[in-house]
Structure 1
């Protein structure tokens, strides 16, 4: 079969473990006759990590050259089209998609989590851009409902990271057991007061359960300072574990008994590895996942101001909570492969 080139456009090369996991899954699912060109914030690191060609996502000349060479343009997963964190970001992605459409590339919006779209202008641009896209898959019911309201056809399937092949983490089994993984990130809802409450709850939880706390920064720029703060209180009963390889990041949860996480992909990875999960939702996408999988937790905006109530809830889930059943996980992984099937339509 003739080799063709596909541009993979996402939040890649920015040190975000969830987005790197989406890229790793996309590359895993691409048909063998498609050669990827990855738009990256760190092209050298992306090329080294995945063995693919990458170019600077902010270099206009490089991006235009890639568009001229390619036959396919892929929005590669995640919450690319949302304006809650930035009004500029969705304009960047929709602008590239619109340019690819104008240059007659075959276009696909792959595994999208659309929204929130709070600004009328952003919403209208997103609607027009999705309407001009050849193939669309989304990862959640909120995105599906939005496209349905716009009368734009799509496929719905669980986040593709469910199907990411995980890898073992050297040295993980040498750390004390049992282990509990914590993933917190900077966010306006995680105020200093709330972080202090969670810190006290975590200290009490660790004392009660005698667990070893793994602090997992998914994105160093947003997570590492919080992990260091928690580590300063937990001391030798904890360790910060920074991993760049998304397959290993998922593999961590094989050796973890429970995960407490804000980040969507920390909960997906943990649940996929049969780990009990407790969510701290800062975003509708996290709340949707918690609702769909019956994951206990709190919305950060409604976090109890009593650390004892939180630590008691964690202890109860650690002692009596259940992970997803293997049959549930298999069903989610099987359905996540719908994202792979639509790539074969290209």
Structure 2
């Protein structure tokens, strides 16, 4: 049975690649996946799957005609904050697949924000046409309830992603703090400088090395390089593209400071003390769910000493997410596999 997998794949975003890796991990063995990708060669090399250029609409249509299943593969695909056109692309493919008679699954979806009435309308049509649906947060569940759709709600599937160790991780200092930052208009040069100075104080008090982890090189690498230039003697940049290896970086880390949603999820899943920096409602929801300290980027502190004190206090404390709670979230995340089992 051939399944077309559609998501924000092939753009070098570690979080979206982690969702794809988890989806492939969960797929029933009799399913033969073909991934729609912005960079088919890269996706094929990274995940070992057949691919199709997502921008070649004729090739995508022909692929759908010769397939039996269409899967929206997780993440914040259906939202109109960053792009008004993106939801129309995804919903258009979903409705086309349904018209062609494919089984259609909306998998581990994070729905919203949906500001425009037109986006809400097309999203409603697409979700109501689905064979099965799973969502990853209460806000998304509220949308499908409003549209009178049945869905499974479970934590983000990346909680259950398999972890792989690498020589890069083995070479890292034993005592370390992972830092995952991304570009954002509110992460100004002054704020980034304050973060670097606070990290220096954190290192002086804990002797922990700073491991800078860019999740999307096009957005995150320049920030990691800026911090590394200020913290040359105490920091390392780890560049990995395999999401299972990326998750492995957090294995054994003492603490993580993360902006990116999946950086925070991976760190928490590996038992790190976590500190979140929220730039988006989905990150704030996760901070509240795992009960970790954090700051909103819109109200970022200016006192470097106070920033460092808060991080030092967390470093010396017991992790707020218990091992039992972590195991529960991981087990619950496996519920996203149930919608895929309907393909049997």
Q: Common fold, TM-score beyond 0.5?
A: yes
RMSD over aligned Cα, in angstroms? 1.2
Partner in structure 2 of residue 169 of structure 1: 166
Deviation at 1:149, TM superposition (A): 2.2
What's the counterpart of residue 108 of structure 1? 105
Residue in 2 that maps onto 1:152 = 149
Give 1:120 shift.
2.0
Map of 2:41 onto structure 1: 44
Q: TM-score w.r.t. structure 2 length?
A: 0.97
Residue 212 (structure 1) aligned to one of 206, 209, 212? 209
Written as runs of structure 1 = structure 2, the 5 A alignment for 1:266-285 is 266-285=263-282
Q: Per the alignment, in what secondary structure is the counterpart of residue 165 of structure 2?
A: coil
The 1:218–1:171 alpha-carbon spacing in structure 2 relative to 1, beyond 3 Å, is closer
Q: Does 1:322 align with 2:319?
A: yes
Q: State how 1:1-346 maps to structure 2 within 5 Å.
A: 4-322=1-319, 324-346=321-343
Could you tell me whether the CA contact under 8 Å between 2:290 and 2:320 is conserved in 1? no
Rounded Cα–Cα distance in structure 2 between residues aligned with 1:193 and 1:124? 42
Shift of 1:323: 5.0
* Residue pair 1:138, 1:144 contacting (<8 A) in 2 also: yes
Alpha-carbon offset, residue 191 of structure 1: 2.6
| Higher mean C-alpha displacement, 236-245 vs 203-212 | 203-212
Please, which runs of 5 or more residues in structure 2 have no aligned partner?
Answer: none
Cα deviation, residue 133, structure 1:
1.3
Q: Provide the secondary structure at the position in 1 that maps to 2:4.
A: strand
Deviation at 1:288, TM superposition (A): 0.5
Using the alignment, how far apart are the partners of 1:162 and 1:171 within structure 2? Answer: 22
Structure 1 alignment gaps of length 5 or more: none
Per-residue CA deviations over 1:307-335 (Å, capped at 9, x if unaligned) read 22211111110111415322222211111
Offset of residue 268 of structure 1: 0.6
CA distance, structure 1, for counterparts of residue 173 and residue 48 of structure 2: 35
| Pair 1:193–1:84, CA change in 2 (3 A) | farther
Matched residue SS, 1:21: helix
1:158-190 Cα offsets, whole Å, 9 max, x none, are: 111111110012142333231000000011232
2:168 & 2:11 partners in 1: Cα distance? 26
Deviations 1:184-212 (A, max 9, x none): 00112323332232222222222222210
